Copies of this chain bind each other. A is one copy, B any other.
Amino acid sequence: MAGSVFGTIFRITTWGESHGKAVGVTVDGCPAGIPLDEGQVQAYLDRRKPGQSRFATARREGDQVELLSGVFEGKTTGTPIAMMVRNTDPRSRDYELIRDVYRPGHGDYGFDAKYGFRDYRGGGRASARETVGRVAAGAVACRFLAQYGVEIRAYTKSIGDVEIDPGRFDLACRDQNPLCMPDPVAAAKAAEYLNRLIKEQDSAGGVVECIIDGVPAGLGEPVFDKLDACLAKAVMSIGAVKGFEVGDGFAAARSRGSENNDGFYTGSDGVVRKKTNHSGGILGGISDGGAIVFRAAFKPTPSIARLQQTVNRAGENVDIAIKGRHDPVVVPRAVVVVEAMAALTVADLLLAHRCARAAER
């Protein structure tokens, strides 16, 4: 229950602090026989690696993953897959300042209230560095999902008020700009906005959108383990996420039944499809055969260089200006984390789905 375990059948445990010796993950429940090597995991980790643009923390981490168990002759064996990344560039002295001060917008105060103390160096377990384990495990889940033809792609939908234009949407160009925006015009505008914020010692939030293709109808468990409920938990567990919606989401609340319902039809090829996808591919908590579409709202990076008022451990009112090396916006580096959490969720429910019928499937 202590919170670092995710999933029921495809189940992972992440571990490690920002400025400890290493961060890592153990995957238990990955089926046997899936082709897997270190390079495939590394490719995912490289997408979240810091130090790659001026919009991301200047911390330099090689983030070389070591695959320690669970793979034999190039295939998963069904036993736990342990993976680890050593921390190489912690500058803990930067954090002496915040040892006794509660940063606004951070979990410092809650952690101390919970445990009585905390590993404050670099945010400890609450650091974004914790997502290394998620991404490594997500890479494994993606390899499993690939066998089913399931493909997961996330991207930056907006930063601040700058949103991608559906008319210019081009997923191919997502990886051509450091903001992960699949619209070059919006990406340029967002970069401009971020440059201004950096100058003003401020930060931005944004929205990540994720599309999952290839999920067959029938996935998700009724009642509490609905596909969208599980995705919501997975995505809301990423630091800085404050909102989650599937399909039309909050807009559906202002819609009418006659507009929001997606009509089914059978095409000339005999396949059942939906005319629209207001549902985001999920009805009654179960996949309906359409593409799964969801969005996550990220708040602005709470660490800003600007002076802020807060309190310290002694309860005294103090001022704080957070120097360190911080991303002015977390959204671009979070894109692959969103993909990882979606992959872990779908992998777990795909396995659960194998148990739905008396006759094995």
Contact = CB atoms under 8 A, between A and B. Distances in A.
Given A115-B356, A355-B1, A272 B109 contact: yes
A341 to B, nearest CB: 9
A102 B298 CA distance: 36
B113 A21 contact: no
Interface in A15-52: 15-17, 20-24, 26, 28-34
Centre residue among A78, A219, A245, A257 by max chain B CB count within 10 A: A257
30 contacts: A2-B352, A3-B222, A13-B80, A15-B68, A15-B69, A24-B68, A33-B115, A72-B119, A75-B117, A77-B118, A78-B114, A104-B264, A105-B261, A105-B283, A111-B286, A113-B217, A115-B357, A125-B223, A158-B253, A203-B256, A204-B257, A224-B237, A242-B246, A243-B245, A243-B246, A253-B297, A258-B308, A261-B302, A264-B310, A354-B354
A72 B259 CA distance: 33
Interface stretch (A56-64, A164-172, A174-182, A228-236): A228-236
B354 A79 contact: no
Given A24-B68, A75-B117, A243-B243, 11 more contacts: A2-B11, A4-B28, A31-B358, A33-B358, A72-B118, A105-B260, A109-B272, A114-B217, A114-B286, A243-B250, A266-B317
| A: interface residue count bin | 35 or more
With a 10 A CB-CB cut-off, give which of A1, A76, A118, A219 has the most chain B CB atoms.
Answer: A1
B311 A264 contact: yes
Contacts of A310: 263-265
A311 B274 CA distance: 10
By CB atoms of chain B within 10 A, which of A14, A242, A260, A265 has the most? A242
Given A272-B109, A288-B109, A34 B264 contact: no
A55 interface: no
A88 to B, nearest CB: 14
B77 A315 contact: no
Contacts of A297: 245, 249-250, 252-253
A353 interface: yes
A224 B5 contact: yes
A335 to B, nearest CB: 14
